[in-house]
Amino acid sequence: MLNKPLSSIYFTAFDFETTGLYPDRDKIIEIGAVKFNLQGDEFRFSGLIDPGVMIPAEASAVNGINNEMVKGKPGISEILPGFLSFISGTVLVAHNIGFDANFLVQAVNTSGLDTEDLICLDTVLLARRYFKGAYSYSLENITRHLGIKIENAHRAEDDAAACMKLFIECIKNVPDYKYAELKTLLKHSGLRKKSLIQNYTTGR
């Protein structure tokens, strides 16, 4: 994958909404993802998830997802195989990817599943490299700074779509970015290679 030109790669920008901040005790309540390439192809995956626990009021205050909305929705073990199939063979992209990647690995482990060790890219780090001087690098603020609109902030699919657009704006700073190899992006942006299982596993 590292030797492939960016134009030949499918990326998946993804985002989770959760009941809290800690993957070892909190749960995913919404998945949103956009699989895309630089030719403009896009495929979407999204869904609410019944976490099997009550959603704390403070989490609902952030993402607007309440217990009634997830009632009767599939559990994580039901939706996860489809998501893993969706992201297979892609490069994962997320804003502050450590958060989402750790929740993903925890969910995979808890469900007794396996996943590929996919390369992971963080748009927070890319934005800090290419758009210096912004007053905030939260997804909501950096996208506003760049004129990227988020339809429903803190809902997974819309945040994933915004992350995709931010990623594309970032990599445009790489010379001949469509023809540059993935390893060139890493070198040019000052990032080191990180992968899902090697860098974000929470233990099994």
Active-site residue numbers?
154
Residue from 86, 79, 44, 51 nearest 67 by CA: 51
Reading the block at residue 108, the tokens are 């995979």
Q: How far apart are CA 62 and CA 81, in angstroms?
A: 27
Q: Spell 99-138 as b/e; 16+ CB within 10 A means b.
A: bbbbbbbbbbbbbeeebeebbbbbbbbbbbeebeeeeebe
Reading the block at residue 93, the tokens are 């992209």
DSSP assignments along 119-175, one per residue:
BEEEHHHHHHHHSTT-S--SHHHHHHHTT---SSTTSHHHHHHHHHHHHHHHHTTST
